[in-house]
Chain A
C-alpha cells in the first residue's frame, strides 16, 4: 500500500503526467481506498508542490504540470468514490476586480486551490461589484478570492466587501485578496479575512478557512 501511495505522490510532485493514470489505476486495483488516495497521495502531493512553489524551489511550469497530473489522477479516482463521498473542501469564487484584466496570478491560485481539493469557480477578469454580488448570492461560496494587479483597481476590493456587508452576505464567507500591489496592511484595512502574497500562501489561508489541518 505504502509503495502505491508513495509512487502516486512522487508522480504528482515531479509532474509525471504520462504515468499518473496507470499508477492510480494500479492502486485502486490493489484495493486502496479512493479517499485515502485523494487525501494522502494526490492532495498531500500538492501540499508539497505548494510549499516548493512558495519557497522558490519550483516555478510556474512545474507547478502547473503537477496540478495537471493531480487532476488526471483525480479523474481516475472520482468514479470509484461511493455516493456522497465526492466532497470538496469548500467552494471558492475567484475573480479579478473591475477595471483589471490581469489574470495570471488569479489563474495560478485557482489551479492550486483545485489541487488542494477545493471546488473553484473562476469568474474571469474585470468583474463589477454587482456581478460579483450576484454570483455570490447564486453560488454561495465559502471563500471569495479577489485579485488586482493595479493600484488603481485595488479600491474595488473594498467596494466588494462593503457591498457584501450591505447585502448581509459578509459573515457567510471569507474574503481572500491578492495581487502584486497589495500587502497585508491593505487587506486588513479593507476588512478582508486574508492576504496571500503568492499562490501557496493563498492556498494555506483557504485551508485554514476550511478548517483543514496543515
Chain B
C-alpha cells in the first residue's frame, strides 16, 4: 500500500471519490505515540519530527493548531496570560494563584461591562509561526490543515458554562455580543491562513453536543454559531480550501444544519452515541465522514478486535469515498500503542479501493 502523502487522495475522499486507498485522518495524535512510532522523542516544538511522523505513518496532511486561546497553548509566557495577569492583579491585588489569570481555568466575562474590560486585542494576537515554519518541512504531496476557528467552546469558556447557559436564556443579546467578538477574531485569522498555499483546509474543533444531544438548542446553535460557520465555509470555498469540523456528542439532530453551513467533513461521529453505518446511510452522500474507532477500544481492546472494527467501518462507510479512517476522537497517550498501530495497519491492509470486505 502506498504510504507516500498525497493530499489529492484525501481531497478525493472529501469529494466522494475512490482513489487507491481509504485515507487516514486524525485531528491529534499524542506526541508519545508519535515518538514510539519514530523511535525517538517528538515534542510540541519538534515540527520536523511531527512532519516526519505524519508522513511515515501514511497521512496526507498534518494538522496544526493556530487559534485564539488554543487549549494547551495558554502558557505563562503567552501575551494573553500576561495581560490578564495585569488585569487580575489590578482588580484583586495580592492574588497569587496562577489559575486566576489562566483562560483555560477561569472565566472572565460574567456581566456586560466585562466585555469591554476583556483584553480582546491580546486575545487576537494569534501565533502563526508554526504554520509558517512547517512549509519548508513538508514533503511533496503533503498539505497542512489548520486547526482553527472554534467559536462555541471559546465563548462559553470565557463566560463559564453555567453563566453562559443562563445568560443565553435570560440575556441573549449579551451572549450574542461575546459570540460576535470571538467569531470576529477567528474569522480575521482565516485570512492570514488563506494566504499560505500549503494550508489546504480549516478544521474547527468545537464540541457542540453531549452524548444525549446538543448542549444548547439547535435553534440557538444555528443563530449564534452555525451562522458564523456558514461564513467560514463559504470563505473556505471561495479560497479553494476545505472546511472540516470536529465535535463530540450526538449530532443527529444537527447534521442537516451542519451540512447546510457548507461543511465538507465531520469528525469523529462519536462512537459512544452515534452509529457510523446509520450516519453514512442517512447523510453520507452530503458530507465526508472521518472516524470512528472508539477510544475505549483503543484503550482496552485487543489488536484483533481493533482490526475487526476497522473492517466493519471500511465495509460500511468507505465504498464510494466520503470517508477517512481514524479514532473516535483523537489518539491520546492512554491509547494502547499496539492498538493505534493495529488501527492504522488494518486500514492500510483492507482499505484499498475497491473495498472487498
Contacts and interface: CB of A to CB of B under 8 A. Distances in A.
B220 A61 contact: yes
Contacts of B334: 151-152
Interface of B: 161-162, 165-166, 168-170, 210-217, 220, 248, 253, 272, 295-296, 299-300, 334
A60 interface: yes
Contacts of B272: 180-181
Contact of A60 (B170, B211, B215, B296): B215
A107 B166 contact: no
B166 A61 contact: yes
Contact of B216 (A60, A152, A198): A60
Contact of B170 (A58, A65, A111, A198): A65
Given A107-B161, A181-B272, A198-B212, A61 B168 contact: yes
A59 B299 contact: no
Contacts of B296: 151, 181
B169 A64 contact: yes
Task: Determine chain B's interface SS by DSSP, over half rule.
Answer: helix
Nearest to B214: A59
A17 interface: yes
A111 B334 CA distance: 32
Most chain B beta-carbon contacts within 10 A, residue among A59, A64, A107: A59
Contacts of B217: 58-59, 61-62
Given A105-B210, A180-B272, 12 more contacts: A15-B169, A56-B253, A59-B213, A59-B214, A59-B215, A61-B220, A62-B169, A64-B165, A65-B170, A68-B166, A180-B211, A181-B272
B121 to A, nearest CB: 29
A197 interface: yes
Would you list the 4 A-B pairs with minimal beta carbon distance, nearest first? A61-B169, A61-B165, A65-B169, A61-B168
Contact of B166 (A65, A104, A105, A197): A65
Most chain B beta-carbon contacts within 10 A, residue among A62, A104, A151, A152: A151
A151 B295 contact: yes
Interface in A1-38: 15, 17
Contacts of A15: 169
